[in-house]
Each structure stands twice: as C-alpha cells, then as structure tokens.
Amino acid sequence: SVPTIELNSGHTIPQLGFGVFKVDPVETERVVFDALEVGYRHLDTARIYGNEAGVGAAIAKSGIPRDELFITTKLWNDDQGTQSAHDAFDRSLEQLGLDRVDLYLIHWPSPKTNKFVESWLAMEEMAASGRTTSIGVSNFLPHHLQPVLDVATVVPAVNQIELHPYLQQRDAVEFGAANGIATEAWSPLGRGHLLEDATVAAIAEAHERSIAQVLLRWHLQNGYIVIPKSTHKERMAENFDVFGFELSETEMAGLTALERDGRIGSHPNEVD
C-alpha cells in the first residue's frame, strides 16, 4: 500500500496521488473513476482546471468511503482576498459534492495583486471551520513563504511546486524542510521531456522498469509527495506500481545530477 507522510497539521497524506491538471472536464469522471479502480486514494484538482465536478462524480460513483480518500483542491488567483476566498471555497466544495476537503491550497502567490497574505488568513479560518483538514500553498518561493510565516498562526502544511530532476527547486525544498512544510511535486515526469532522457533510460533498463517509474522513485525516495497524471488506465497502473523496487544511492545521485533549471510551467512571479 501507499506510504503516508505526516503533515504539520497532524494529519497524514498518501505520498502518491493522482493529479487531474489538464484533464478535460468531459473526460474527468471516467479518468478519475479509472484511477480509483487502479487504487489511487489521493486526488489533486483545482478550481481553475474546471473539472472538480467530474472528480466529485467519480468519487460518488466509486462508493469509496470518504475517510479513505484524500482530496485536494486550490484557490484560484482571481479569488484571492478574504470574502472572495471564502466564496470560492464554498463553490469548490459544491462542485466536488463534498462537505470537506483534506487539503486546500493557494494555487499561486500572484504577487502583483499582493493578496496572498490576506488570503492565507482566510485559509486559516477555513481550517478552523473543519471544512478543510489541512491548508497549504502552491508555487510559493521562499520570498513568498516568509511573509506568510511572519503573520501565520498555522504554518502551511505543504508547498506544491513544479519539481523533477531537471528543475529541483532546492531553495524552496530546503526552506520548506527548515519550516516543517512538506514538498509536493507537480509535473513529476517533467511533462514528458524526461521520458526521453538517456540517463533515466539506462537506470530504467537496469531495473526492468519504465522511465516514469524510475522518476517517481526519485521523488518518493527524496521524501516528496508526488501526483502524476495520465488519462490512460495502463499508465495510471504503471505509475501506481512503484513500491516493488528501489534506486541505489548512486542512481539517485545520477538523477539529481540532471538539474538544468529546466522549468516547464510558469515562473511563480509571472502568474497573476
């Protein structure tokens, strides 16, 4: 079974989850139902993906007890603020058909509007209401996290960032570790780019595993929470089957040596 990570909220999160970024809303119910059948119990969506309703429909259809699931969604940039954040959270729960999520994240710092600290205080109120069990952030760099920590009563439980061997974000990871904030990796496979890397391919061959499986092991062995996405059920199963082998220290170091500032998504300072 999937190992769990203990968050600073005292709650646990399955270390491997299933992400639905860019999954077409029309296809989401089928995709998430497949993922649940494969065995995933941790699902990661966001208001801006437009597919929370599909995630909720798959959950309902699966009949899996709510307390066996870990559900994350995120506050979109336009909804940052106090009342607007509360309203957006209400809408997300309504779309999901749930009365509670396990983790609610500020999606991007959106620094130009400068509302992320105010939004964080609203997030603390949501956590106090019990309608989200844990709260955290996404795409925050240390210079965004610090002003939050300066006023926070509740330290963010996680920071979800783009992370893979080509972009290791060591400053954000180390800042998180020093402050009890777990690191969660989005686009853990580098959205396909790493699937053609010769170093990763050689390690995969040595283990008779796929490149995707090797990349996921790198995340897991580094202690990161990881949320691969696929719309194909056989790939979902492949990405879930990563607990039967282990990378050596040399192999881990070989992957870590692939750092190349290879950002695929947006830079946190540039998203409004």
**Binding-site residue ranges for substrate:** 107
**Residue among 218, 72, 43, 86 at smallest CA distance from 138:** 72
Helix then strand then coil, % of the chain, to nearest 5: 45, 15, 35
Q: Is residue 17 close enough to count as binding ligand A2P by CB under 6 A? A: no
CB-neighbour burial class of residue 250 (10 A; exposed 0-12, middle 13-18, buried 19+):
exposed
Distance, in Å, from the CA atom of 167 to the CA atom of 113, rounded to the nearest integer, reads: 26
Q: Is residue 230 close enough to count as binding ligand A2P by CB under 6 A? A: yes
Q: How far is the CB of 190 from ligand A2P (least distance, A)?
A: 5
Distance, in Å, from the CA atom of 165 to the CA atom of 161, rounded to the nearest integer, reads: 13
103-136 burial string, b = 16+ CB within 10 Å, else e?
bbbbbbbbbeeebbebbbebbeebbeeebbbbbb
- Position among 88, 98, 189, 200 found at the interface with ligand A2P (CB under 6 A): 189
Distance, in Å, from the CA atom of 74 to the CA atom of 88, rounded to the nearest integer, reads: 9
Residue 49 annotated among the catalytic residues of the structure: yes
- Position among 43, 228, 251, 255 found at the interface with ligand A2P (CB under 6 A): 228
Q: Is residue 217 close enough to count as binding ligand A2P by CB under 6 A? A: no
- Position among 75, 190, 203, 247 found at the interface with ligand A2P (CB under 6 A): 190
The binding site comprises 107
Instruction: Name which of 23 and 88 has its Cβ closer to ligand A2P.
Output: 23
Q: Is residue 167 close enough to count as binding ligand A2P by CB under 6 A? A: no
Instruction: Name which of 41 and 191 has its Cβ closer to ligand A2P.
Output: 191
Q: Is residue 191 close enough to count as binding ligand A2P by CB under 6 A? A: yes
The values of phi and psi at residue 39, to 5°, are 130, -5
Q: Is residue 136 close enough to count as binding ligand A2P by CB under 6 A? A: no
Half-sphere exposure of 91 (CA within 13 A, CB side): 15
Instruction: Name which of 135 and 212 has its Cβ closer to ligand A2P.
Output: 212
Return the DSSP state at 138.
E
Q: Is residue 238 close enough to count as binding ligand A2P by CB under 6 A? A: yes
Only segment of 2-10, 66-74, 102-110, 228-236 that touches ligand A2P (CB under 6 A): 228-236
Instruction: Name which of 111 and 228 has its Cβ closer to ligand A2P.
Output: 228
Distance, in Å, from the CA atom of 137 to the CA atom of 121, rounded to the nearest integer, reads: 12
Residues constituting the chain: 272
Q: How far is the CB of 226 from ligand A2P (least distance, A)?
A: 9
Q: Is residue 263 close enough to count as binding ligand A2P by CB under 6 A? A: no
Instruction: Name which of 169 and 210 has its Cβ closer to ligand A2P.
Output: 210
- Please identify every residue annotated as catalytic: 49
Q: Contact residues for ligand A2P (CB under 6 A)?
A: 187-192, 195, 210, 212, 228-232, 235, 238-239
